[in-house]
Structure formats: structure tokens, C-alpha cells
């Protein structure tokens, strides 16, 4: 299977997973291992002061030497906060500047605030960050973000955590058609078929968190998602048959014993 | 002396360095970022950067997120 290249690094897996909403760090790690993901997202937050020094840190479980850690700017509602969060993330990760930029518009839909996202992207590119950017499924905005210098565009399939799957596949197709950087569909995947569908459309990868972490059996769902992404991508490369209105028999007419 | 630490008031020893603060709080210098008055202090300066009364200190780390 062709590898996915992001920020000059090649990945066997086209599935990127989040690390939020799991029962504990043991489950987080096992789900990630089952998913086969090599890149994982994390959030940047104030430390819980007073916690036991011996309590494991997320990054003790997910060694940055093994996994590519993709810090996000979740919870930021303006460009200034997003830029600050990326700077904090780079300091946490010893100068690594690969980030997932997301600037949200409101609490209810968690829809991207495109104006602030563009502003933040411009500043972060100047500061030499490598930006994978969460955005709407609007190809005009996607192209603007690419032109600013974002290294991957990550349009939503549907709102974060909604599990509604792809709401407008034609928008995703148009984004893919117009882009020269990897398109990773981020947010809205509910189950394995959604992930397969994303890949069957020709997108370069999928990012998900809730669909795995909040499944009844997160570890099994992580395995299912791994297979779904691989199957969808293989099906895309194999080339599906055209849809036809009428049937087309699979068995030969010649030699039919029923005539 | 009094500082604001992650939005809460904390009383810490006078003229303490960031290294000293982390030791005082029993926090390991690994996978963290520290801001003092909204400016990030590089890890290389933790031993020489002395805190002052009323400094606003933020200790940040990575947590689970999507």
C-alpha cells in the first residue's frame, strides 16, 4: 500500500487517532495499537497541580519517539489563542512544530471559525509551524489554507463527535480534486463504513477520536477502523465498477441447462 | 511570596527559580511548558529564571484530545 507522507515522514497507516475520552491511559494505548495509527493527536491544557508525581503522563504511554504526536488547538476560539497554544505545544515537545490547527466557532456545533483559522495559519506559517488544519468542507477555503502554506487540509465529514458520517461527499471530492497536499477527513466518522467511504472517495487519510473511544468496545472498534481504512483505500485504488440502473448477470448465458 | 499558578493563588518561597518551583511542587521537568506573565520560558532558563511576587505562572502539559 502506498505510504502517506506528511512533513517529510512516511506512514504505513492512513488512520490518525485522537487520545481523548478513553477510560484510562491503558485503554488509550491499546486502542491506538489496535488501530495501527502512527500519528496521534493530543490536547494542550493546564497541568493538574498537586497530582502524584508518579502518576503516568499521557506521553509516557505514547512515546514521542515511537508515535508522531500531533498537538491540537482544541478549545481555541480565536487566532491569538491558537497561536499561543501551538507555541506551548512546541515547547512541550522539544521544538517539534507539527500541529493540528483548529479554531472553533461555537460550542454547540464546534464548527470551524474559518476567518480566525486563516489568520492563525498565516501567523503560524511565519513562525515555521507545519500545519495540518481542521476546516469546513469548502474547497475555496481549503485552497486558501493550502496557498498560505498548510501541509495538510482536514475538512470535516460532519460535526466533531457527531458520528453523522459524511454529509456532503461531493464537497470532499471537490476539495481533493483541487488540492496538492494530503486531504485527511477529520471529524464526524461514526462507524467503519464511514471511514471506508472517506477512503473510497480518494481522500488521503482519516482522523477520528470519538468513534473509537466512545464505542461500546473501543478496542474492537479500533481494529475495525484499521481494516475499514485499509479496505476503503484498496477499493479506491482498485477502482470500483460504474453504477448501473439495470442488472448485469455474473453467470454466462451460454450452456444454460434451463433453456 | 504570592504568585498566581494555573489561575490559583499559591504561596511559595521567596526568589525561587522555576527549577525550584517545580521541585517545590514535585513536578518532573518532562513534557511541560511554562509561561510567566504570558511569555514562554525556555527549559534552558529554568535554573536561572527567578520568580517575583504576583507573577502569573502557567504550567502546561499534553492531555488526551482529538
* Model confidence, pTM: 0.93
Classify residue B44 by its DSSP letter. G
Contacts of A248 (CB under 8 A, 6+ apart): none
Residues A167-213 pLDDT 10s: 999 999 999 999 999 999 999 999 999 999 999 999 999 999 999 99
Contacts of A251 (CB under 8 A, 6+ apart): none
Which among B5, B32, B64 has CB closest to A42? B64
Mutate to test the interface with B, among A88, A163, A186, A208 (most CBs of B within 10 A): A88
Asked whether the predicted pLDDT for residue B29 surpasses 80, the reply is: yes
Q: How far is B65 from chain A (nearest CA, A)?
A: 4
Average pLDDT, chain B: 94
Asked whether the predicted pLDDT for residue B46 surpasses 90, the reply is: yes
Asked whether the predicted pLDDT for residue A53 surpasses 90, the reply is: no
Q: What is the arithmetic mean of pLDDT over A11-30?
A: 96
Residues A88-133 pLDDT 10s: 999 999 999 999 999 999 999 999 999 999 999 999 999 999 999 9
Nearest CA in chain B to A70: B66
B29 CB within 8 Å of a chain A CB? no
Q: What is the arithmetic mean of pLDDT over A21-26?
A: 94
Q: Do B65 and A74 touch (CB under 8 A)?
A: yes
Q: How far apart are CA A213 and CA A42, in angstroms?
A: 14
- Concatenating the DSSP letter of every residue in A167-214 gives S-HHHHHHHHHH-SS-BEEES---SHHHHHHHHHTT-SEEEESHHHHT
Q: Do B64 and A18 touch (CB under 8 A)?
A: yes
Give percent above pLDDT 70 in chain A: 99
Q: Which residues of A171-184 are buried (b: 16+ CB within 10 A; e: fewer)?
A: bbbbbbeebebbbb
Q: What is the arithmetic mean of pLDDT over B16-30?
A: 92
A41 CB within 8 Å of a chain B CB? yes
A87 contacts in chain B (CB < 8 Å): 40
Amino acid at each position: 500500500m502506498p505510504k502517506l507522507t506528511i512533513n517529510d515522514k512516511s506512514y504505513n497507516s492512513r488512520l490518525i487517532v485522537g487520545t481523548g475520552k478513553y477510560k484510562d491511559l491503558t485503554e488509550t494505548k491499546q486502542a491506538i495499537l489496535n488501530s495501527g495509527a502512527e500519528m496521534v493527536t493530543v490536547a494542550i491544557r493546564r497541568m493538574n497541580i498537586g497530582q502524584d508525581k508518579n502518576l503516568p503522563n499521557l506521553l509516557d504511554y505514547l512515546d514521542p519517539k515511537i508515535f508522531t504526536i500531533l498537538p491540537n488547538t482544541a478549545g481555541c476560539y480565536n487566532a491569538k489563542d491558537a497561536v499561543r497554544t501551538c507555541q506551548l505545544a512546541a515547547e512541550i515537545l522539544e521544538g517539534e512544530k507539527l500541529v493540528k490547527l483548529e479554531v472553533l466557532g461555537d460550542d454547540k456545533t464546534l464548527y470551524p471559525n474559518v476567518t480566525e483559522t486563516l489568520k492563525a495559519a498565516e501567523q503560524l506559517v511565519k513562525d515555521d509551524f507545519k500545519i495540518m488544519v481542521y476546516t469546513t468542507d469548502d474547497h475555496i477555503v481549503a485552497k486558501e489554507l493550502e496557498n498560505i502554506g498548510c501541509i495538510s487540509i482536514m475538512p470535516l465529514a460532519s460535526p466533531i463527535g457527531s458520528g453523522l458520517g459524511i454529509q456532503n461527499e461531493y464537497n470532499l471530492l471537490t476539495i481533493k480534486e483541487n488540492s496538492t497536499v494530503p486531504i485527511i477527513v477529520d471529524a464526524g466518522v461514526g462507524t467503519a463504513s464511514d471511514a471506508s467511504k472517506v477512503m473510497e472517495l480518494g481522500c488521503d487519510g482519516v482522523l477520528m477520536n470519538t468513534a473509537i473511544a466512545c464505542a461500546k468496545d473501543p478496542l474492537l472498534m479500533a481494529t475495525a477502523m484499521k481494516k475499514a481504512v485499509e479496505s476503503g483505500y484498496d477499493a479506491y485504488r482498485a477502482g470500483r465498477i460504474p453504477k448501473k440502473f439495470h442488472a448485469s448477470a455474473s453467470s454466462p448465458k451460454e450452456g444454460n441447462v434451463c433453456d | 511570596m504570592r504568585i498566581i499558578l494555573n489561575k490559583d493563588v499559591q504561596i511559595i518561597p521567596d526568589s525561587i527559580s522555576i527549577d525550584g518551583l517545580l521541585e517545590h511542587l514535585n513536578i518532573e521537568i518532562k513534557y511541560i511548558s511554562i509561561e510567566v506573565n504570558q511569555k514562554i520560558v525556555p527549559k534552558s532558563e529554568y535554573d536561572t529564571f527567578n520568580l517575583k511576587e504576583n507573577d502569573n505562572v502557567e504550567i502546561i502539559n499534553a492531555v488526551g484530545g482529538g
